[in-house]
């Protein structure tokens, strides 16, 4: 009897887990609002090194930042503008420029840690391109 109850409880747990998963998946597909949270496609820079990724969703929808925390004081609203500048380097980030304005170990994780959160490398870039096709622009 006890065993049967356990099976029932486990079964119900699994089922609701599956339902929740399906619901959050569906939401993921419909809920992202580009007007409210910025472009959906990740920004990928290939200069000076290939490849660094930036996602609006993580910063706006998830972390709650508004557009004005980055635009236009730190970044222009133009894909690839920053990588045209000579000072788009780690040295500038460490001094609090660009991403380093927040990624300083207090507002967000520090720029001298977790390299691979931002650096997805050449392989990561290829993987993104094969998933999204035109979603990732390279310049
Ligand atoms: C945490 C920083 C940050 C926040 C917050 C942010 N952005 Fe951006 N945004 C960027 C960066 C970085 C780029 C790329 C700039 C570059 O490549 O020089 C960018 C680029 C853009 C672009 C150009 C994309 C393209 O494909 O040309 C648009 C449009 C944009 N942002 C809109 C928004 C809007 C709208 C919001 C608020 C809802 C927002 N951004 C909030 C950092 C941010
Ligand atoms: C206005 C502040 C701000 C700026 C500017 C900013 N970020 Fe962030 N970023 C955050 C916050 C806040 C988080 C979420 C908290 C955390 O992960 O430390 C975050 C999270 C991230 C994450 C998620 C890491 C993970 O796996 O959870 C990545 C990657 C990232 N940022 C990359 C960048 C890059 C690249 C730039 C520059 C192009 C940038 N950010 C500029 C505030 C900022
Ligand atoms: C918060 C995001 C972020 C983190 C964390 C980060 N980087 Fe970077 N990195 C960038 C950005 C943005 C650029 C400039 C764009 C590009 O080169 O594609 C860059 C460029 C570079 C460059 C080329 C320019 C230069 O400064 O020589 C090197 C090398 C580099 N990063 C190494 C690292 C290493 C090593 C770590 C970890 C200790 C690291 N980065 C962590 C965002 C980050």
The residue-averaged pLDDT of 58-85 equals: 97
Q: How far is the CA of 37 from the centre of ligand 3 (A)?
A: 25
Reference 38, options 61, 18, 17, 5; nearest CA is 61
Ligand 3 contact, 36 CB (< 6 A): no
Ligand 3 contact, 86 CB (< 6 A): no
Please give the mean pLDDT across all residues of the chain. Answer: 85
Q: How confident is the model at residue 26 (pLDDT cuts 50, 70, 90)?
A: low
Q: How far is the CA of 38 from the centre of ligand 1 (A)?
A: 6
DSSP reduced 3-state for 129: helix
What are the tokens at 4? 């049967």
20 or 65: which leads in pLDDT = 65
What are the tokens at 134? 């035109």
Nearest atom of ligand 1 to the alpha carbon of 59: 1
Torsion sign (Cα): 42, 47, 52, 58: negative
Ligand 1 contact, 63 CB (< 6 A): no
Do the beta carbons of residue 94 and residue 112 sit within 8 Å? Answer: yes
- Per residue in 76-130, pLDDT (tens digit) is 999 999 999 999 999 999 999 999 999 999 999 999 999 999 999 989 898 988 8
Whether the full predicted model's pTM is greater than 0.85, yes or no, is yes
The per-residue pLDDT for 31 is 78
The per-residue pLDDT for 130 is 86
Report residue 8: phi and psi, to 5°. -60, -45
Top mutation candidate among 90, 100, 108, 136 for ligand 3, by most atoms within 8 Å of CB:
90
The per-residue pLDDT for 7 is 59
The residue-averaged pLDDT of 13-23 equals: 57
The residue-averaged pLDDT of 15-41 equals: 72
Nearest atom of ligand 3 to the alpha carbon of 91: 26
Report residue 23: phi and psi, to 5°. -65, -45
Question: What is 38-98 written as a DSSP string?
Answer: --SSPEEE-SSSS-EEE-HHIIIIIT---GGGTTTTT--SSTTSGGGSTT-SHHHHHTT-G
The per-residue pLDDT for 134 is 45
- pLDDT exceeds cutoff 70 at 4: no
């Amino acid at each position: 009897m006890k065993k049967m109850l356990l099976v029932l409880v486990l079964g119900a747990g699994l089922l609701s887990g599956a339902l929740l998963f399906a619901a959050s998946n569906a939401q993921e597909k419909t809920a992202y609002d580009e007007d409210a949270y910025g472009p959906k496609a990740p920004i990928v820079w290939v200069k000076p090194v290939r490849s660094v990724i930036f996602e609006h969703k993580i910063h706006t929808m998830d972390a709650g930042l508004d557009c004005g925390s980055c635009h236009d004081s730190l970044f222009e609203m133009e894909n690839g503008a920053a990588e045209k500048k000579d000072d788009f380097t780690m040295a500038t980030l460490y001094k609090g420029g660009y991403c380093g304005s927040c990624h300083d170990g207090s507002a967000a994780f520090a720029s001298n840690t977790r390299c691979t959160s931002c650096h997805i490398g050449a392989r990561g870039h290829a993987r993104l391109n094969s998933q999204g096709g035109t979603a990732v622009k390279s310049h």
